[in-house]
Structure 1
């Protein structure tokens, strides 16, 4: 079997984050089982083999809104690939302006596998960054209503309609698509995963602890893009509550917050306001290949995700959760949809009510006080994620679905 992986998302020079780990994990694992060609508009951090980079035309790189640039790049790819394509299927990560995979698969009459991690229509409606300028906000509003939303709705519908297999990361996302009229028979629920060899204790954490003066402390870590649903503001408030109510741990526990993103500034303000600058270390963005060293420097890892602001169910499958589990650390995490189903309270993690800063602080306190408990949790978590949630198993489920859909008797073995 030979496949084509299309990477058309219009983000460049990404060196860290869940999407980076996901992309590299899927591509590297596919290549263990089939011949996979990769066409990308940029270098892909962590991908181990050849990438065919087709750069966007210079005229569509600048001064054009994001989704229109993606749309034009899809047209560029179609023109380049429309005459010949030697693939048995096309795999593409969905983004709101990308439709090349669906179009080319339809043209060459081969299966199209759509990786659908979230709805861009939903994100446009719910993730708005407002300006202080009334004029700017007005222009943004008009652009969104007249151009952006209609365009993205059309592209999203086109991808979902012509996909033979839609890979979603959670049951909630499957339910959302079924409500939108998508045939349930072509939806594969396939949570995110982890490279179990890459994310394991490599004994490099000691260097990080030494670098930041953490050698004698219990270190509580968080890694992420400080996005809208990561719960970083709640974590910052929980840190303040933790120190206020656990004076005996004031000199024993420190926090290592790894990453960057839209809410980083506000997170820092909360920490500074409560005079905790010396207790919380912000590392900034860390390259994907170095993330494991920082996680290894921690004793406890936190995944404080929160509910969607619009009241809908949390549809995510955080890559950090699987990486935390692979690292054999004590985990404090929100009991939120898939997170609460993968982790078992007091067995593979300490589950808390989403957004509850008192419970976040309590979970950290419990694990900080009990090294035996967090070690036991860590061992069980790694064993569980190794058995069910590696990128290899993730990819094998997709390959089995492809073969099942095309009446092949040859199935890959997967847990």
Structure 2
């Protein structure tokens, strides 16, 4: 049976009894195994889908234990279970969950044989992309104005790029033939556009190997314009002179110099890094600093504190969000050029971007669109025709898992 490593925390203790089996052994269960929260929903054959159930992912020590708890929570043994997970499943369905490196590799066929059900593992962003196609007009809003030439205004339109900013950064896309794809795009490096972004990237690179100069460097204030080729690097733009990270800052691991988008703007590591970098040139308000220190001591994310401060007009937090928006905007542009060469639409998801007021702030400030549609850049006409939407639906991943289950299994007559 799956191992219970919940430590007896409230709501985390596993029920080791097998769930009752449906009389006809039919039905579909969809699971969105997020880094922080898990959503599961059961869809009986010929009946409306049941209620979505959510619980903490951190209460489990393996994907086996988590999925066992999903079956217990829905109280049924479905014939088919489709699980969207952070990671790229192997051809045999086995998968290592990337945001839970301490978890063992999930062995799909072994789990399926134990419970006597069919199991399909998919990348979580593949499920999210499929979920966008399930949305009605109440599940999203359009952020960019309607243009006479743009396309993809509806969720069921042609090619689309889907980017989620949660504890990590996820990227998926729907190709022109309607096939969803999950990627690991959040782990690629990014290219700075402004001096401020160059300084930030250099500082992040230095975190990988530690400072070589014991004297902290002075990081210049915000810069609005991109550096010119004639600009000489300042002491703050070189990794050797970057200031050391404040106490408690998680140091990225990996190859020195290869800083990913996820390390830079994700809701966990990204916002911690953004905060610490901006703090080198601007002092955070005492109340904010105290809140961040408390959150760190309790191993909680600081993104909600920074977001609340920016919406309240705190200059420190505004600078953090502008840096975040600029990097996100140019990342969206890069991904759109790769996946939407014939046009399409962009869909923003995840707890950070879904937080009340965040998307409105980024659009009103202009930091995101200035990077997504930079003046005079190549393919500006293509970018002008690509609309951006914000997904409000918190259950998009489990919706997509169910949609994939229906499309993959109903055609075979197994559902």
Fold shared, TM-score > 0.5 on shorter chain = no
* Bigger helix share: 1
Q: Which has the higher contact order (CA 8 A, sep 6+)?
A: 2
TM-score (norm. length: structure 2): 0.34
TM-score (norm. length: structure 1): 0.34
